[in-house]
């Protein structure tokens, strides 16, 4: 089942990130951060993701889009708002079982509803995004613990006898390397 997630970019940024100190340079960094966060989210879910940013105050006259880290990023252009672009996408984009629109814009919330189109508030999606980040961190932590303790996956597949022989060979190999290193060190001192 394929789903589409459409995010109102600036609406999300100003609600999710600390918006008190956002200026032009920081806004660009926060756009990148949003793309990074959603690229990670996309990697761990079955969503295609589109982020829409208002650019009606920019010099860019027409709507344009770029693909960045597997995320489609759309800038609305001077003639349209992000809201109108999101509405178009929600109603015209085909091939998805479900479409989720992430916005806390009150007008968008009432306009968007239609069969298989759902709204998620920024707050609700932030909770979901943070939960997914925690799950990924926990999985990585568990994976790292499994790698640093006990036997590797190869060693786990061995019978008890084979494991003992393997460890013995492994120990001999380590001892041989230590001896080889000592001998090469002694040769250097004699020279």
Instruction: Enumerate residues 6+ apart whose C-beta is below 8 A from 81.
Output: 54, 56
Which pLDDT value is given to residue 184? 55
Q: Is the pTM of this model over 0.85?
A: no
Which pLDDT value is given to residue 127? 92
CATH number of the domain residue 17 falls in: 3.40.50
Query: Which residues constitute the domain of residue 169?
Result: 151-190
Band (pLDDT 50/70/90 cuts) for residue 37 is: very high
Question: How many domains does the chain divide into?
Answer: 2
- Shared domain check, 123 and 42: yes
pLDDT at residue 99 tops 70: yes
pLDDT at residue 72 tops 90: yes
Residues 98-121 have a mean pLDDT of 77
Q: How many angstroms separate the Cα of 112 from the Cα of each of 86, 101, 120? A: 9, 8, 11
Residues 33-61 have a mean pLDDT of 87
- Shared domain check, 183 and 113: no
- Shared domain check, 158 and 135: no
- Shared domain check, 50 and 26: yes
Cα separation, 133 vs 144, whole angstroms: 16
Residues 60-79 have a mean pLDDT of 88
Cα separation, 191 vs 183, whole angstroms: 13
Band (pLDDT 50/70/90 cuts) for residue 6 is: very high
- Shared domain check, 104 and 26: yes
């Amino acid at each position: 089942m394929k789903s589409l997630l459409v995010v109102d970019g600036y609406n999300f940024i100003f609600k999710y990130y600390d918006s008190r100190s956002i200026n032009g340079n920081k806004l660009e960094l926060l756009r990148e951060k949003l793309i990074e966060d959603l690229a990670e989210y996309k990697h761990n879910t079955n969503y295609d993701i589109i982020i829409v940013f208002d650019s009606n105050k920019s010099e860019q006259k027409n709507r344009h889009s770029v693909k960045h880290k597997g995320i489609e990023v759309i800038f609305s252009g001077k003639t349209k708002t992000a809201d109108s672009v999101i509405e178009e996408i929600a109603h015209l984009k085909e091939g998805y079982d479900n479409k989720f629109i992430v916005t806390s814009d009150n007008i968008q919330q009432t306009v968007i509803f239609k069969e298989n189109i759902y709204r998620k508030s920024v707050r609700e999606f932030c909770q979901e995004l943070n939960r997914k980040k925690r799950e990924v961190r926990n999985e990585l932590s568990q994976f790292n613990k499994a790698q640093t303790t006990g036997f590797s996956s190869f060693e786990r597949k061995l019978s008890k006898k084979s494991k003992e022989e393997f460890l013995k060979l492994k120990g001999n190999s380590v001892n041989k390397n230590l001896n080889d290193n000592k001998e090469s060190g002694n040769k250097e001192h004699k020279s």
